[in-house]
Amino acid sequence: MKVLVVGSGGREHAMCWKVAQSPQVTQLFAAPGNPGMAELAECIPWDGNVSQLAEWADREGIELTLVGPEAPLVEGIADAFEARGLKIFGPVQKAAMIEGSKAFAKDLMARFGIPTARHKTFSDVLDALSYLETTGAPIVVKDSGLAAGKGVTVATSLHQAKQAAANILSGPERAEIVIEEYLSGPEVTVLAVTDGITIVPLLPSQDHKRLLEGDTGPMTGGMGAICPYPLPPGVLTEIVERILKPLVEGLRAEGIVYRGVIYAGLMLTDEGPKVLEFNARFGDPECQAILPLLKTDLLELALAAVEGRLHEQRLEWHPLASACVVMAAPGYPDDPHKGLPLSLPPAPPERVLYFQAGTRRGPEGLLTHGGRVLSVVGLGEDLPGALERAYAGVAAVRFEHALYRRDIGRKVSLAKAASRGGETDQPKA
């Protein structure tokens, strides 16, 4: 098969790496790709125009396309490809609006009875500020549109909440925010593949969204992830039955067939799992932590979802743990420095994978070209072993002044050390 992967980040590098292992692949392309992806695929220039890419894919005879980032999905890349009879792994525009508009997603959750935080939506700044006077803090203020994971403010003071609301609503025309109650508990990500009927959950993972150790500093696109996250017994089944199924079945009842990946960002509250956000694609950096554990052919899994035969699939997993540490450029997330030299070891340490993101090739080697530059993934028999390998991989990289967290996975490691031996209900091999 001739296969195309859309995107240029660490997530897409991981997708290319996994897809390239499929015996069905005869040619692999990436649009626009990055230097790491160029070692696996032929990178083609792409400026983000979905119609032009669909035209190229039709002309080139691309037999399956996998989409990494959210922006092209929200812009309707799946619709453009399907209109030409091309197979694409990613939801159509109407379905992708679960990520494109948090207000839309909240309305869906209310209609379908999906547990989430109490909330209100605002487009007028004075109305939002008046409402915040009644709620006080802590409170959560979210940009309703796409914000690359950085449009959320968990406000610990009324002043901080008002400032966040005013900043967003004073911005682009038709800006909209969602103000919702603050939820407490462990935060976990559950990704699932669906063909619009069958839902296949992947291993649970946990993202680390704050820039600094101890979950402090500004929100980012994600500074690291671990997999699998040890969910308590029965919780994964509850998530599928109370959250994922109502979403997929509710959308289908409204004439929207969801094919692709559903990202459920969840808070494990005392009242059970509640949705913090839905995304319409693999998470980044969760994808980099999950795919190295997937024994099943990703190309076949994606094809089964696109062709509506996901019920035939049985996932197999490597009996390992993984940990991903993101190395970011100094100045991230506000003003990342570009053009800094970056050098990877010629032979990676054992059980270490490097997935490139914000990089470009210069005359003398790799240079930084974005905020999150590199995902370093370690694999181990257990989480401590995976973390040891990941940080050994970080130490082997030459990247002066790199920003990265040194406490990825620490909460889970401490919790597991305190309570050994608990059974979990992860997806079976």
Cis peptide leading into 319, omega within 30 of 0? Answer: no
pTM (predicted TM-score): 0.91
**How many other CB atoms are found less than 10 A from the CB of residue 76?**
18
The pLDDT of residue 429 = 33
The pLDDT of residue 99 = 93
Tokens of 17: 């790496």
Tokens of 202: 């992947």
> Using N-to-C axis directions, what is the helix angle for 102-112 and 245-253, rounded to 10°?
90
243 DSSP assignment: I
**How many other CB atoms are found less than 10 A from the CB of residue 97?**
20
The pLDDT of residue 176 = 85
| Parallel/antiparallel/unpaired status of strands 27-32 and 2-7 | parallel
Quick: pLDDT tens for 257-276: 999 999 999 999 999 999 99
Q: What whole-number distance in Å separates Cα of residue 328 and Cα of residue 345?
A: 18
The pLDDT of residue 422 = 42
Q: What whole-number distance in Å separates Cα of residue 389 and Cα of residue 386?
A: 5
Quick: pLDDT tens for 71-89: 999 999 999 999 999 999 9
What DSSP assignment string belongs to 116-148?
B--EEEES-HHHHHHHHHHH-SSEEEEESS--T
The pLDDT of residue 169 = 87
What φ, ψ does residue 162 adopt, rounded to 5°? -65, -40
Exposed/middle/buried for residue 230 (C-beta within 10 Å: 0-12, 13-18, 19+)? buried
- Half-sphere exposure (CA, 13 Å, Cβ side) for 400? 4
The pLDDT of residue 174 = 66
What φ, ψ does residue 32 adopt, rounded to 5°? -90, -10
The pLDDT of residue 115 = 96
Quick: pLDDT tens for 58-69: 999 999 999 999
The pLDDT of residue 421 = 43
**How many other CB atoms are found less than 10 A from the CB of residue 370?**
19
Blockwise average pLDDT, block size 10, the chain, 429 residues: 98 98 98 98 97 98 97 97 98 96 90 92 89 89 73 88 88 78 93 98 96 92 96 96 98 97 96 95 97 98 98 96 98 95 94 98 95 98 97 97 96 65 46
